A and B are shown apart, each in its own frame.
Chain A
Amino acid sequence: MRLADREQDGIVILEPKGKIMGGPDATLLHDKLYEYIDQGKKKVVVDLSKVDWMNSTGLGILISGYTTLRNNEGILKLANVTDKIQSLLTITKLVSVFEAFDSIEDAVASFK
């Protein structure tokens, strides 16, 4: 997995690419997410358009970030959820937890 990150209008955008299966790849996403949270960032969008698939480790990272941000009056949102990941969110009932948008632009606009 590779990871790109940037800020747009004060909103952190994380763009993982590849497969989130655990081990060092998952640590990369977790650490980058918490690097921004530790900087006091409260608005995060995770763009999943380039993620081939993820397993429960990836879901756990998203939940961890979501919970930590929510406890600090922030929020984590998803953009471009692929069919494969949408299926996982549905069977685990996490689809009811995360706000998901069809594009990064829509996700960013939702914070305004």
Chain B
Amino acid sequence: MDRPRIIGDTMIVPSDQEYLADIDAFLEATLRGFGVDESIIADIAISVSELVNNAMLHGNKSAADKSVTIKLLRENSSVKITISDQGAGFDPDSIEDPLAEENLMKEIGRGIFIVRSLMDSVDIEAATTGTTVTIAKAF
């Protein structure tokens, strides 16, 4: 695919970080439509940006023929978002502790930690056909 597509509350995007701002605009507009508070929108936007970056760079390895799907769902007073890639998957247990002294000054490796800190729940399903991360946040 060469351009992002929006279908309802779902956005499908090529693995190109040029589209990060488009994803953020779609995300924030949809969350406002759900009635989510602005302070919570920022936490969700930070989390989704982390997961989309991971999906594009580490999952799809920026392959032009692979896409990332962002799907939003409102469930009563909470929002559930899934971010899926088409990569080869990874072992979530292999993520190092970014707070460990030897990792504190590393430039990378904090994304999932930050998402876990900001969201109410984070579920990672990694398979050889792709990784799907589901986050949820009450508002």
Contacts and interface: CB of A to CB of B under 8 A. Distances in A.
Instruction: Indicate whether A and B interact.
Output: yes
A55 B105 contact: no
Interface in A1-30: 19, 21-25
Contact of A63 (B42, B105, B111, B113): B105
B124 interface: no
Interface stretch (B44-52, B69-77, B81-89, B131-139): B44-52
Given A21-B24, A92-B98, A93-B104, A53 B45 contact: yes
Nearest to B112: A56
B20 interface: yes
A106 B21 CA distance: 33
B114 A52 contact: no
Contact of A52 (B17, B42, B109, B111): B42
B107 interface: yes
B52 to A, nearest CB: 8
Interface in B33-76: 42, 45-46, 49-50, 53
Q: How large is the interface on B (under 10, 10 to 19, 20 to 34, 35 or more residues)?
A: 20 to 34
B49 A22 contact: yes
B18 A56 contact: no
Interface in A31-81: 52-57, 59-61, 63-64, 67
A67 B105 CA distance: 8
Max chain B Cβ within 10 angstroms of own Cβ: one of A55, A57, A60, A63: A55
Nearest to B41: A53
12 contacts: A19-B21, A21-B20, A21-B49, A21-B53, A23-B20, A23-B21, A53-B42, A55-B53, A55-B114, A91-B113, A91-B114, A92-B113
